[in-house]
Structure formats: C-alpha cells, structure tokens
Chain A
Amino acid sequence: MSAFLAIYLREMLILRRRILRQAASWAVSPLLYVLTFGCALGATFQVGGRSYLEFLIPGLVAMASMTQAFAIATEINVARFYFHAFEEFQAAPVGRLSYVLGETLAGISKAIVAIAIVLAIAWLFGVRLHYGPFFWLAVLLDSFAFASLAVAMAMLVRSHADQTLLTSFIITPMGFLGGTFFPLDGLPAWARGVLNLLPLSHASAAIRADAFGEPPRALHFLVLAGFSAVFFILACSTVGKARD
C-alpha cells in the first residue's frame, strides 16, 4: 500500500510548490459570488428567514468541494498527456486500488483547502455558521464522490480537450443547478425530481442543514455514499483502460 502514499505524496508536493497561486485562484470565484449574489443581489431578499449570503455560503462550500475534487482530473491529464509521468505509475508495481486511492485522496485534500478558503471569505463577510461533524462528513463524501468520478473520467478521455468538455457539460451545469444558489423547494415537482438525482443537490442540502444547525437527514448521506461507492468502483475498473 506504500504505492498509494507515493501517488498522494506526489500530488501534495506539486500542490506545495503552487500553493500561493492556487489558493489565490481558488479564492476568485467564491469572492465574486459572495460580492455579486450574496452582498449586492442578496441584500434585497431572504431565503427561509435567513439572509441570502448565509444561504449561499453552504452552497459555495458544496460547489468548491465538487469542483476542486474534480479538478484532480486535470492534474492526471497533465501527467498523462503533457509530462507523460503517468507512464511511471503504469510501469511500476502499483495496483489499481492504490492508484485510485492516492489520486482520490489528493482530490479530497485539495477540496478541503478550497473549502477553507470559502469559509475564510464567509468569516470576513461576517457569516457565522455551524460547522459540525455532519457538515464535514457531507463535505468528505461530496469530494470523495467527485474525486473518484474525476479519476474515472481522466482514464477514459483521449485528450486534454475531452476533459474540458466533460467539465463544461457535467460540472459547470451541476454547480449551478445542484442547490447551490437557490432552494430547490420552489421548483416544479418534475424539475425538483430531476435535480434531486444530482449528487451535488444532496451535498448542498446536507451541508446547509448542518451549517444552519438543523438535524441531518440520512437520505442525503446515503445517496452521497452510494454515488461515492459507484464512482470509486468505476475509477478502479477504468485504470487499465488508460493503456493503449
């Protein structure tokens, strides 16, 4: 199992070299959302008796968790198609499980750093929420699911351009529709039904519930755990497909 640590350590060493640039880039989107949607637009209305800014922050946490965990796919593709460093793993005695575990854990770690930045921005804007164990459990399941999906997709794509398409067609729409910016309750039943199929909808709901000090709903955690398991198994089964 030391191979899984090697994969993880490599990603963390690269992150350490880039951390200042990376942290600055991770702060840009949440800061813009907080300023435009949270402060400017959100000042005119409330959601469920809370300010829109308070409603928005858990959604941004869920979105940051998803996008930064999924971004591990880009790192893998750079290693595969640009630096060819992926060949080093293919030629080494590294099992599929070790590889997927190492990359998934790296995706989760990056997501946690990105979430810390979102929470720091929230604190700077005066938002004080509850960050209990269920908040972090939901964050972990959300990032685990999307990091696993990222590994699977990174193994299946044939070029870096394909990866960009996946982000445009899957991650960006989910980021906007998965209960991050607006409550799903106000939607027609059919739309709510469709959006409830998205893992991010359940992550947003679970994170928001704990942030607001509400009791957790098992359904959200079960759905996230289910997606995590399916995506992780998918990732393990696709590692061999990256060979030509």
Chain B
Amino acid sequence: MIRIEKLKKSFGKKLALDSLSLSVGKGELFAFLGPNGAGKTTAIRIMTGLSRKDSGTCEIAGADLDREPLKAKRLCGLVTQNVNLDGELSVAENLDIHGRLFAMPGKLRRQRASEYLGYVGMEDRAKDLVKTLSGGLKRRLMIARALLHGPGLLFLDEPTVGLDPGIRRKVWSLIKRINQDGVTIFLTTHYIEEAEFLAGRVAFIHEGRLIQEGTPAGMIAKVGEWAVDTFEGGAMRSDFFASREEAGSFLAGLPAGGAVRRANLEDAFLDLTGKRVL
C-alpha cells in the first residue's frame, strides 16, 4: 500500500529525513514511533502531498506521488496533527466541502456524511458550528471527514495528542474498528501505549532515520520481556530479562531493592538510541 525509498528532506541545514525507506502492506495498522522532531510528521506530510521531498521515491497504492499525485491523493485520507477544520462552518458543511473536493456525487456525500457521523458518534451534531465543538469531537470529526470519500489508506498524524485519557481510549477503539473494516492505517505517535495497543507493526524513527521495525512483541522481546528498575547514585537504571523468574532472582540480589515490571516499546527505543521517546 505504501512504498517509500531513500526519502530525504532538509529544512535549511537540518536534515529531517535521512534516506528513509519503508513499506506498509494492505490492511496493516502500522505505527511510526519516535520523539518530537524525529521526522514522523515530515514523512507523513510528504506522503500526503503537503510537503515536497528533496529526493527519493514515494508510491501510494501503486500510484507514484511525483507522476500521479492526484490519483495517489484520491486513495488516501489524512488526519493531521493540527485541527484543520473550518471553524466557521458547521459539521455537515465541513463534510460536504470535503466530499465535493473528492468529486463525490451529492446523494453519496449526504449518505456517507450521515453514516460516518454515526460511526464516530456525532450523528446529532451535524448542524453545530465546528468552533463550538470540544477537542475530542473535533478529532472524531476529522476522522469521519478523512473516511468520507472511502479511502483504502488512512494517515493519522498524532491522532490523540492533546486529548484526555478517556477520550483517547475512545479514539483508539475507533481506529481499531476502522482497521478491522479493511482500511490500511499509517499512524504516527509518540505515545508508547498507543503504538503498543493499536499497531500490528511498529517502526522506530530517530533523527530522520528508521532504526528498527517489527511487531511490538518482537521488538520488546529483543530487549527482554521483563525489566527491573533500580535507583542508584541519583539515576534510574533498567535491566532486562527474558522471564519474570530471572528478573525476580536479580531483584532478590539487590541490597537497595527495585521494581519488576513488563518491558515496553519505550525500553526497546531506549536500548537502541540511549534516549527516551517522550
């Protein structure tokens, strides 16, 4: 569904993407995980035509973004990190304009708008002005809008950033459901638990480079599934073990004590880069 090769992008002297290559298959829920400034949003902006690349190739569902940009865009839906709805228009008007931009016939526009507002639990908000909606509702509306034209591929750039934990869980359920309905999802996030909960496959991006990819479980297993956190000399240290028993034995030998927990993607990222995601 997505194939990018040797993608490069600089902003002045800062290299934002450094020969980034990856591919995402049809039906996958793929997460791009990395700290702020790692290059996640730059990659998504290039793949959706919002930014220009310096070099490299990008193919969306068989359509080359350089040669057939409009065809590629027709196949994608995008939920940007910033809320980019028209605040002065109503919910229904925002959806209607989107449908027209994608050349959808009037009857289909109205039918899908009603269907997707129901899908995101906003069927009673169609006439409300967008500027009166809460942050969570705006995010859900952006997802409904991105799905309106029936894309096979949905880009979600930090879809839950700024949302409170309860709303975040609702958005996660929605994303899972969209993927189960057959839509390929490319997600960027810097929330560890988001990537672990949602993604079938994860890629770490650090300083514009893809440093590892695989299933969340596989990436955690490389480090060790269990961690022991200790606090020594003013700094926290984590040691990793394949089993809980090994971790427990290690902890028993520590005079200062510590805590055993399950390892997560943050540990895998830290192990590779020496830096935390957040």
Question: A residues bordering B, Cβ < 8 Å?
Answer: 2-3, 5-7, 9-10, 13-14, 17-18, 79, 83-95, 240, 243-244
- Is A17 in contact with B78, judged by CB distance below 8 angstroms? no
- Is B73 in contact with A85, judged by CB distance below 8 angstroms? no
- Is A88 in contact with B52, judged by CB distance below 8 angstroms? no
**B11: A residues at CB distance < 8 A:** 244
- Is A14 in contact with B89, judged by CB distance below 8 angstroms? yes
Which of B11, B50, B51 has the most chain A CB atoms inside 10 A of its CB? B50
- Is B70 in contact with A83, judged by CB distance below 8 angstroms? no
- Is A92 in contact with B101, judged by CB distance below 8 angstroms? yes
Alpha-carbon distance A81/B213, docked complex (angstroms): 35
Main secondary structure of the interface of B (DSSP, over half): loop
Q: Is B246 an interface residue (CB 8 A)?
A: no
**A94: B residues at CB distance < 8 A:** 70, 101
Q: Nearest Cβ in chain A — how far from B89, in angstroms? A: 6
Q: Nearest Cβ in chain B — how far from A103, in angstroms? A: 13
Alpha-carbon distance A222/B208, docked complex (angstroms): 53
Interface magnitude class on chain B: 20 to 34
Q: List 25 A-B contacts (CB under 8 A).
A: A2-B100, A3-B100, A5-B100, A6-B100, A6-B101, A13-B97, A14-B86, A14-B88, A17-B89, A18-B88, A84-B80, A86-B84, A87-B80, A87-B82, A88-B84, A88-B98, A89-B101, A92-B98, A92-B101, A93-B101, A94-B101, A240-B52, A243-B49, A244-B50, A244-B51
Q: Using A9-B97, A9-B100 as known contacts, say yes or no to A91 and B83 having CB atoms under 8 A apart.
A: no
Q: Is B119 an interface residue (CB 8 A)?
A: no
- Interface 1/0s, chain B 92-115, versus A by CB < 8 A? 010001101111000000000000
- Interface 1/0s, chain B 172-208, versus A by CB < 8 A? 0000000000000000000000000000000000000
Partner of A13, one of B78, B83, B89: B89
Main secondary structure of the interface of A (DSSP, over half): helix
Q: Nearest Cβ in chain A — how far from B136, in angstroms? A: 18
Q: Is B85 an interface residue (CB 8 A)?
A: yes
- Interface 1/0s, chain B 39-81, versus A by CB < 8 A? 0000001001111100000000000000000110110101010
Question: B residues bordering A, Cβ < 8 Å?
Answer: 11, 45, 48-52, 70-71, 73-74, 76, 78, 80, 82-89, 93, 97-98, 100-103
Q: Nearest Cβ in chain B — how far from A43, in angstroms? A: 43
CB-CB nearest 4 A-B residue pairs: A6-B100, A84-B84, A92-B101, A93-B70
**A83: B residues at CB distance < 8 A:** 84-87
Q: Using A83-B86, A83-B87 as known contacts, say yes or no to A88 and B93 having CB atoms under 8 A apart.
A: no
**A10: B residues at CB distance < 8 A:** 86, 89, 97
Q: Using A3-B103, A5-B100 as known contacts, say yes or no to A92 and B88 having CB atoms under 8 A apart.
A: no
Q: Nearest Cβ in chain B — how far from A99, in angstroms? A: 10
Partner of A91, one of B71, B73, B89: B73
Q: Nearest Cβ in chain B — how far from A225, in angstroms? A: 30
Alpha-carbon distance A10/B49, docked complex (angstroms): 21
Q: Using A14-B88, A17-B88 as known contacts, say yes or no to A91 and B100 having CB atoms under 8 A apart.
A: no
Alpha-carbon distance A90/B44, docked complex (angstroms): 13
Alpha-carbon distance A90/B45, docked complex (angstroms): 10
- Is B80 in contact with A85, judged by CB distance below 8 angstroms? no
Alpha-carbon distance A94/B256, docked complex (angstroms): 64
* Nearest CB in chain A to that of B45: its residue: A244
Q: Nearest Cβ in chain B — how far from A19, in angstroms? A: 12
Q: Using A91-B48, A95-B70 as known contacts, say yes or no to A85 and B100 having CB atoms under 8 A apart.
A: no
Q: Nearest Cβ in chain A — how far from B154, in angstroms? A: 12
**A84: B residues at CB distance < 8 A:** 80, 82-84
- Is A85 in contact with B76, judged by CB distance below 8 angstroms? no
